[in-house]
Amino acid sequence: MDKNVKICIIGGGPAGLAAGMYLEKKGYENYTILEKNDHVGGKCHSPYYNGRRYEMGAIMGVPSYYAVHDVEEFCGITHDGPQLNRNYKDKNGTVIEPFEPKKNVLKIPRLLKMKKQVTELGRILETKYKGYDLNGHRGVAQGRYDGFAVTPEREPVSGANENLKDLAMPFKDWCEMNNVELTQDIWIGPFTSFGYGYFDEIPAAYVLKYLDFQTCMNFVRINLWTWKNGTQYIWESLNDHLKNAARLNSDITKVERKDGKVYVTVNGEVEEYDKLIVTSPLQFFPNYADAREDESKYFSKIDYERYDVLAVETKPEDHPEISYYVFDNMTPDRLGHLMVYYRRWKDTKDQVITTYALRKHKNTDEISYDTCKEMVLEDLKTMKNPASNIVNEQSWYYFPHVFSEDYAAGWYDDVEAMQGKYDTYYAGEVMSFGDMDETAEYSRELVERFF
């Protein structure tokens, strides 16, 4: 493609900024990033409180976040944040140690069985499901894999594997079919509590592409990355180092594609481009763009999670000594309850803690935001860490995805076949997975494939 092609990127989150970086690295400098908010980073949002930043969205990374590491190298920054740790409570606020045999003598047979199943899961992922961990979903529903290896070099790989079709099943059913159902006890912590839904509704492909075996083991071993100035700092730094920083407060009201050009109406002015990369939610693209029949058809099938975050103060005597997971509340019947609360700074009590809850499940009525908020505040009292004040609150449009039926029917292959059609390319969370590394990695691959 002509290196002077004029490219519009919609969205200044990790996907959009990464697209700008990878385009720039490849020699494309005539790009514009349009961001509707007054800041970059999307759900990597790290406000200040008492001189330090806390997290309202993404919290951490792992050493296999190769795209994030690309950004660090591009910007000359590193993961220099506080070391994380966690403990566990039951729904009644009692501290438990669910994975410690000496503290759970009656559960030793189950724990031993779970350990064997985790080993077995690692084996079948490497053999029976070879190719499962590639970024994105190209070919999975057709029983093939096509992409780049999850290694620092990201060498291209492809092949046929009929077993990959199984990944369209809900993760719970997939685990039971493969006789590794107890592994859900491990995978649920960094999945459901992080806002990605429940195992009885989410296709296994999403779970295993995000929590591939090496990534999940990094979570288990607490081999984690954080950033002193928050995850938002990664993307602020990238924005500062790009030749074309994102234009903030860009209100896009119309996109019209005709005669080989893309016309974007932003803040009342029409701008002309040659190509369009959409990294903002595809579900809403038809609301402002001249969506064609196929775009409207496929994008209407996207669903998403309602993931609520509160940042709260506590009295010093009520401040938790560590972050806590509440596994009891990570099931659909406990929808709306506190799943995890996070203490970022261990050396002081003059900081907020953040709470996380889901309020939507495929087969149940959605809980209202206000009801969920009250449930979480009550849960904090039960945990013996009551909130004294709410500092910040956010309900995220979170983890866009499709369900098993559409996944198995080839949603991803059909949408991938549309790439470049109408001079438009689709990126962002739904095309890979809703975490910062997967979305940035997908942007890298998009640039490699089409530019």
Question: Letter for the amino acid at 416?
Answer: E
Compute the distance between CA of residue 439 and CA of residue 119 in angstroms, rounded to an integer. Answer: 29
pLDDT in the model for residue 103: 77
Beta carbons of 320 and 343 less than 8 angstroms apart: yes
Confidence (pLDDT) at 281: 97
Cβ 14 vs Cβ 235: under 8 Å: yes
| Region for residue 39 given its phi and psi (left: phi exceeds 0; alpha: psi -120 to 50; beta: otherwise) | beta
Burial label for 83, CB within 10 Å (0-12, 13-18, 19+), is exposed
* 53-80 confidence digits (pLDDT tens): 999 999 999 999 999 999 999 999 999 9
The string of pLDDT tens digits covering residues 182-241 is 999 999 999 999 999 999 999 999 999 999 999 999 999 999 999 999 999 999 999 999
- Looking at residue 98, its pLDDT comes to 87
- The whole-number pLDDT of residue 200 equals 97
Whether 106 has a pLDDT exceeding 90, the answer reads: no
CATH class, range 111-217: mainly alpha
**What was the pLDDT predicted at 410?**
98
Tens digit of each residue's pLDDT (9 = 90 or more) over 332-383 = 999 999 999 999 999 999 999 999 999 999 988 999 999 999 999 999 999 9
Q: Which residues contact 100 (CB under 8 A, 6 or more apart)?
A: none
Render pLDDT for 19-30 as a digit per residue (tens, 0 to 9). 999 999 999 999
Helix axes 184-191, 108-126, angle to 10 degrees: 70
Compute the distance between CA of residue 214 and CA of residue 219 in angstroms, rounded to an integer: 9
pLDDT, position 193: 96
The arrangement of secondary structure in 7-58+227-302+402-450, i.e. its CATH architecture, is: 3-Layer(bba) Sandwich (3.50)
Phi-psi label, residue 230: left if phi above 0, alpha if psi -120 to 50, beta otherwise: left
**What does the alpha-carbon distance between residue 105 and residue 89 come to, in Å, rounded to a whole number?**
18
155-166 core/surface letters (b: 16 or more CB in 10 A; e: else): eeeeeebeebbb
Give 151's pLDDT tier (boundaries 50, 70, 90).
Answer: confident
The alpha carbon of 359 is separated from its chain's Cα centroid by a whole number of angstroms, namely 17
* Mean pLDDT, residues 279-297: 98
Q: Which residue has the tokens 């949408």?
A: 415
Q: Would you state the pLDDT for residue 107?
A: 84
Domain extents in the chain:
7-58+227-302+402-450, 111-217
Of 92-106, 243-257, 274-288, the range with the lowest mean pLDDT is: 92-106
Convert the pLDDT of each residue in 429-450 to its tens digit: 999 999 999 999 999 999 999 9
Q: Which two tokens stand for residue 20?
A: 């700008």
CA–CA dist 89, 85 (Å, integer): 14
